Structure 1
Amino acid sequence: MPTTKDTIVTPAGTCPVTFATPEGAGPWPGIVMYPDAGGARPTFDQMATQLAGYGYAVLVPDMYYRDAGWAPFEMATVFGNKSERARLFSMIQKVTPEIMAADAGAFFDYLQSRPEVRGERFGTTGYCMGGRTSLVVAGRVPERVAAAMSFHGGGLASDDPGSPHLLADQIQAAVYVGGAQGDASFTAEQAKTLDDALTAAGVEHTIETYAAGHGFAVPDNAPYDEAAAKRHWEAMEEFFGAKLG
């Protein structure tokens, strides 16, 4: 699949992105794929290419671009390394819901400007931190999002005032959430809270728990699970096919 590197001017600066499309002229529906807490890296370039193969123009942004020149994380060891874990969480905390929404507007404008992309409403998907971002953006920029997916996302229905479940009555997109088994960042109780909020708001949604740990869909994560990852690709193909195709 054709894959290029580009930059997008946002309200805060210049964000590096990967842009992947299918072979051919298009145009295709656009999707923003939000990386996990490890940030944009080659694994997500490969994942963007795979999703593009289903017939989409896929944008992967560097959500840490405000930390210019940040050093990549080693995902297999980052959580066991005290200093690297501290660096990771300090960067995560800087990506607030307000920043997610502001950046998303620029990402959607970029997609809409590309001749390879059709339509004015888009898909979002994401992993871990990116799974939360996907739902936050669906609630804060609702007029631009037609379909939002989240995989092993954390903090989807928490006590935080920025929790996505509090935005349920703003969401216009169809929503799919694939949670991880035994995930302290998205428990069964939190799944019910999210389900109740989306149901009360009349949002079309599906919430499922995969029989795999947090990180199951991303190949360079230690808990990567091949069977669960395959299921997640099938879910994306079906969901986006129905809501964007």
Structure 2
Amino acid sequence: MIIQSTSHDLATPTGVMRTYLHQPSDGRQYPTILFYSEIFQQTGPIERAARLIAGYGYNVLVPEVFHELNPIGTVLAYDDAGRDKGNADKMAKSIEGYDSDNAALIAWAKTLPWNNGLFGAMGFCIGGHLAFRAALQPEIKATACFYATDLHTHVIPNQAGQHSMDRLAEISGELLMIWGKQDPHIPAPGRARVYQGLVAADKTFTWHEFNGPHAFMRDEGERYDPQLAGLGNQLALDLFSRRLRA
């Protein structure tokens, strides 16, 4: 499927949010996926990952997750300075901003002729958590979370009762949770805490732990595992096909 890519500046309660849209070029209606990046925003690996999903018949929206804290178009490098800046932005952004960003993306897509009314979410690292956060929106029916950071802690957010795991009752769609067993950012006890929370809340989800490090989906750098990335993308596409195809 041939796709096209454009950028759009959306109004949100916390400022203008640059959003990249990757979609089939045939002009037909397709489901829409809210696609969340790592702390580095839309890098080359994130753009390629989003375009891959779009090629299977989805409108893929990639917002700049820290738009309030950076000039429009900011992309952080995969180096120490980029990591430090991204982690600082992660701590500085208010949780209300993430929720209003999700609502703004969905509201905008609903007004456009290429959206068929069905929504999912997908993300990596902090973006895995943000995809999980997007699942709190009632429109989101399928969510793929790859090595979602900070779900097992109360760092983001630190407001009482506002952590994503505290609001599981609001998730109505199906979740796909994918982890790396050798990921130091989400150790085994942390993964178990998330699993037990989802079971206790009687959520509909599937759970996969691969023998891989953090960021094994990123097709740049020494941690990339092409075989695991292929498996992960196929699992996400299977989920979206089941839940978002009329």
TM-score (norm 2): 0.89
| Percent of matched pairs sharing the same residue | 20
Partners of 2:122 and 2:208 lie apart in 1 by 15
Are the equivalent residues in 2 in contact too, given 1:157–1:163 (CA < 8 A)?
A: no
Q: Does the 8 Å contact 1:6/1:16 carry over to 2?
A: yes
> Shift of the alpha carbon at 1:50?
0.8
The correspondence for 2:77, drawn from 71, 74, 79, is 74
C-alpha distance in 1 between matches for 2:67 and 2:42: 10
Q: Which residue of 2 aligns with 1:126?
A: 123
Segments of 4+ moved more than 6 angstroms: none
Q: Which string of whole-angstrom CA distances, capped at 9 and with x for unpartnered residues, describes residues 10-58 of structure 1?
A: 1111111111112323200100100011112333222221101111111
Q: Secondary structure at the residue paired with 1:66?
A: helix
CA distance, structure 2, for counterparts of residue 71 and residue 116 of structure 1: 27
List per-residue Cα deviations over 1:107-133 (Å, max 9, x = no partner). Answer: 1111111211111x4101100010011
In 2, distance between residues paired with 1:96 and 1:172?
A: 24
Give me the whole-angstrom Cα distance separating, in 2, the residues matched to 1:200 and 1:91.
32
SS of the residue corresponding to residue 11 of structure 2 reads strand
Task: Show CA shifts across 1:130-178 (max 9, x none).
Answer: 0011112213x2x121111111211122244454222222211100110
Among residues 100, 105, 108, which one is paired with 1:107 in the alignment? 105
1:44 paired residue number: 46
CA distance in 2, matches of 1:188, 1:179: 10
Match of 1:32 among 28, 31, 34: 34
CA distance in 2: counterparts of 1:210 and 1:114, whole angstroms: 38
Structure 2: how far apart are the matches of 1:185 and 1:122?
Answer: 29
Structure 2: any 5+ residue segments left out of the alignment? none
1:62 to 61, 64, 70: 64
Q: 1:221 to 1:173 in 2, by over 3 A?
A: farther
Gap runs ≥5 in structure 1:
none
Change (3 A) 1:222 1:61: farther
Mapped contact 1:97–1:136 kept (Cα < 8 A): no
Partner-residue secondary structure (3-state), 1:21: strand
CA shift at 1:71, angstroms?
A: 5.0
| 2:1 pairs with 1:4 | no
Contact between 1:136 and 1:167, CA under 8 Å: does it hold in 2? no
Are residues 175 and 187 of structure 1, via their aligned partners in 2, closer, same or farther at CA, if it must alter by over 3 Å? same
Distance 1:241 1:71, change over 3 A: closer
Letter in 2 for 1:194: V
Partner of 1:154: 149
Query: When the two structures are superposed, what TM-score results if normalisation uses the length of structure 1?
Result: 0.90
Give the Å deviation of 1:84.
Answer: 4.2
Distance 1:222 1:109 in 2: 38
- Please say if residues 130 and 153 of structure 1, whose CA atoms lie closer than 8 Å, have aligned partners that are also in contact: yes
Q: Is the 8 A contact 2:39 2:83 kept in 1?
A: no
